Amino acid sequence: MLHPNGRVTAMQLERLDWAVIIFFFALTLVIGLLSAKRAGKNTSEYFLSGRSMPWWLLGMSMVATTFSTDTPNLVTDIVRNSGVAGNWAWWAFLLTGMLTVFVYARLWRRSGITTDIEFYELRYSGKPAAFLRGFRALYLGVLFNVLIMGLVSLAAIKIGSVLFGFSSLQTLLLAGLVTVVFSSLGGFRAVLLTDFILFIIAMIGALAAAIVAVRHVGGMDVVLNAENVRDKLSIVPAFTKPDGTSNMDTFASLIIIPLAVQWWSVWYPGAEPGGGGYLAQRMLAAKDEKHAVGATLFFNAAHYALRPWPWIIVALCSLVVFPDLDSLRQAFPNLAENKIGHDVAYPAMLTFLPTGLMGLVVASLAAAYMSTISTHLNWGSSYIVNDFWARFINKNADQKELVWVGRISTVLLMLLAAVVALGLTHAKQAFDIILMMGAGTGLIFILRWFWWRINPYSEITAMLVSFVVSLYLRLGPTGDMRDWQKLLLGVGITTLAWIVVTFLTPADDTSRLRKFYRLIQPGGPGWRKVIREAEQDGENIVGPQGGKSGLPMGILCMLLGTLAVYCSLFATGYWIYGRTVPALVLTVAAVVATLVLIMFWKRVAGDSGSSESMGAVGVAD
């Protein structure tokens, strides 16, 4: 509550608020307990729910996972610093997402593997492939995963401190305990079922927060006409500033680099070029290829078109109430100095929520936190169990042992994430670190499905060079280089390095390449040499589709899907701004693009039955 002295006191939850929160936590625990027995049967149940999940549940889970407590904080940080257009830093990843929908979702489901890290020994052979699988299992499942969970937990810390005056340890204990219990007991099935509930609650809470924020400042007209908000409203940055000077540096960093380079070159969890991570986990858990495609399409539409504007509205309103960092410091004097940042403005706006609604929004924030953390715990644990423990530590481990290793590693990952959260300061900090560490590796994840020449040394080089270059650009003497210039340099050096190494090192084992093609049937010109040599040896590796990849049609659908989602996203913004003409034009464009996309849907989704048959043949051989 805001007092006349400008300070905000910690919120006091009433009985109704506590009733909503307690009911929510009890429900998630019940789901975890009910799922525990089935999840404990084997690793397929614990990590993939028996590969029997429908598209709508998987898609909802994907959306819930990427809707975390740190996301509205990050969006608020971006809007307050770079305006609405600053969100192109992550909006550009829609291109990656749509490519996954119409090209890679079917390929992942066809592979029949348990984790995307297992792909390394499906695609490559020998000790280099084994090294990649083991190292990436720990590098992504532990290092990267813990960093992401630390970022999410940092947001929870700030919300707990701002709203209730909790210490960092108190927040981590309260937020993490329930999550780690139902995640470790119920496995992936519990994650999916709770995600369905968590997403609905989180969206209701986000909408409620936006409505209250607008009412608190006196209406949307007040927000749009506020002096320090006007220059933040543009959806696309202008070429020139209001004073007539060039704005190309901003335009390059927000539009040119993300759309021309970043989306295909940067590995980022949840937006991996070629799919991967916890999105691949959900595609692998789908009933068939059609359900894998449907899940990823639903996710991308909801992630980019449905969710951003409630967060953006709250961020814009926060500029009216808390115009700068000093106003936040004065309002929250008990908040540690190293936790003060523009991302604090989102939880700061939640202090104006009324009784009853506060309980719902707190529950929605807890839902957002739990959905993301539970997914990352299960995903990271799947790497540790399937790609490290069962592959390198104890190859003869029975299913009971593997499930227990999964449960123990789940708890340990949560503890490590809590330690990292205590050392971070603001949301954008970790976001930039993750982008830099993955710069230049994305293209290899796209091409490895469609070009036989890529080998494990290509991936090892990309991984090592990317890490070293990002470390130097982050800590070394780089002068006045902008972040986008560092990203471009990192991508260029890493990409050149792995391409050179690809041609200097021997191609992978012929039998492995043929087996991979027989199973996946990627098609395309990149495999012609392998197909031709197999035919010369009297071996047919081409399935019923005759080597046709459907790639041109997939790319066309990718562009149509991208157009439909972007038009929907921008149309919503212009409706909110009260700009009827562009809003109407973009709405019509979104509808037309969607209708045209539907016309091509069956040709892209294909016949899942025939694909499953090809997969079975590949495994048998």
pLDDT of residue 431: 60
Assigned domain for 540 exists? no
pLDDT of residue 501: 96
Q: Which two tokens stand for residue 12?
A: 């006091």
Q: What percent of the chain has pLDDT over 70?
A: 85
Assigned domain for 519 exists? no
pLDDT-derived band at 42 (thresholds 50, 70, 90) equals low
Q: Is the sign of the CA dihedral 274, 301, 348, 353 positive or negative?
A: negative
Q: Give φ, ψ of 2 to 5 degrees.
A: -85, 125
Distance from C-alpha of 299 to C-alpha of 59, rounded to nearest angstrom: 5
Assigned domain for 539 exists? no
Tell whether the model's pLDDT for residue 285 goes beyond 50: yes
Between residues 429 and 551, the one the model is more confident about: 551
Domain count of the fold of the chain: 1
129-179 pLDDT tens trace: 999 999 988 888 888 888 888 878 887 887 777 766 777 787 777 777 777
Name, of 168-182, 409-423, 522-536, the range with top average pLDDT. Answer: 522-536
pLDDT of residue 617: 34
Q: If 0-12 CB within 10 Å is exposed, 13-18 middle and 19+ buried, where does residue 425 land?
A: middle
- Give the other-Cβ count within 10 Å of 476's Cβ: 9
pLDDT-derived band at 437 (thresholds 50, 70, 90) equals low
Assigned domain for 440 exists? yes
Distance from C-alpha of 430 to C-alpha of 150, rounded to nearest angstrom: 9
Buried residues in 19-58 as b, exposed as e (16+ CB within 10 A): ebbeebbebbbebbebbbebbbebbbbbbbbeeebebebb
Q: Which of 325-329, 510-514, 557-561 shows the lowest mean pLDDT across its residues?
A: 325-329
pLDDT of residue 129: 93
Q: Which of 102-106, 481-485, 591-595 shows the lowest mean pLDDT across its residues?
A: 481-485
The mean pLDDT value for 442-450 works out to: 91
Range of the domain at 144: 15-450+456-506
The mean pLDDT value for 360-382 works out to: 79
Tell whether the model's pLDDT for residue 270 goes beyond 80: no
The mean pLDDT value for 380-387 works out to: 90
C-beta of residue 413 within 8 angstroms of C-beta of residue 146: yes
Stated length of the chain:
621
pLDDT-derived band at 32 (thresholds 50, 70, 90) equals low
**Cα torsion through 219, 220, 221, 222, rounded to 10:** 60
Choose among 395, 367, 406, 370: nearest CA to 141: 406
Q: What is the CATH number of the domain that holds 114?
A: 1.20.1730.10
The mean pLDDT value for 349-358 works out to: 78
**If you average pLDDT over every residue of the chain, what do you get?**
82
Tell whether the model's pLDDT for residue 618 goes beyond 50: no
pLDDT of residue 106: 87
The mean pLDDT value for 598-602 works out to: 79
74-119 pLDDT tens trace: 899 999 988 999 999 889 889 999 999 988 988 998 888 888 899 9
CA 105, distance to chain mean position in Å, is: 15
pLDDT-derived band at 490 (thresholds 50, 70, 90) equals confident
pLDDT-derived band at 581 (thresholds 50, 70, 90) equals very high
Q: Which of 209-213, 353-357, 467-471, 613-617 shows the lowest mean pLDDT across its residues?
A: 613-617
528-543 pLDDT tens trace: 999 999 999 999 988 7
CA 32, distance to chain mean position in Å, is: 23
pLDDT-derived band at 62 (thresholds 50, 70, 90) equals confident
Write the CA distances from 255 to 248, 266, 272, 567, integer angstroms.
10, 15, 19, 16
Assigned domain for 619 exists? no
Assigned domain for 603 exists? no
Assigned domain for 611 exists? no
Distance from C-alpha of 216 to C-alpha of 412, rounded to nearest angstrom: 42
Buried residues in 349-360 as b, exposed as e (16+ CB within 10 A): bbbbbeeebbbb
Sequence-distant (6+) residues with CB within 8 A of 268 are 93, 434, 435, 438
Assigned domain for 599 exists? no
Q: What percent of the chain has pLDDT over 90?
A: 29
Write the CA distances from 185 to 34, 38, 66, 152, 174, integer angstroms.
9, 10, 22, 22, 18
Tell whether the model's pLDDT for residue 11 goes beyond 90: no
Between residues 433 and 560, the one the model is more confident about: 560
pLDDT of residue 608: 40
Choose among 417, 388, 416, 407: nearest CA to 187: 407
Tell whether the model's pLDDT for residue 567 goes beyond 90: yes
The mean pLDDT value for 503-522 works out to: 93
pLDDT-derived band at 1 (thresholds 50, 70, 90) equals very low
Sequence-distant (6+) residues with CB within 8 A of 484 are 252, 253, 257
Q: What angle do CA 311, 487, 274 make, to 5 degrees?
A: 75
Tell whether the model's pLDDT for residue 27 goes beyond 80: no
Tell whether the model's pLDDT for residue 560 goes beyond 60: yes
Distance from C-alpha of 371 to C-alpha of 191, rounded to nearest angstrom: 7
- Taking the model in full, what pTM does it have? 0.82
- Write a three-state SS string for 259-301: HHHHHHHECCCCCCCCCCHHHHHHHHCECCHHHHHHHHHHHHH
Distance from C-alpha of 207 to C-alpha of 211, rounded to nearest angstrom: 6
Report the SS3 class of residue 246. Answer: strand
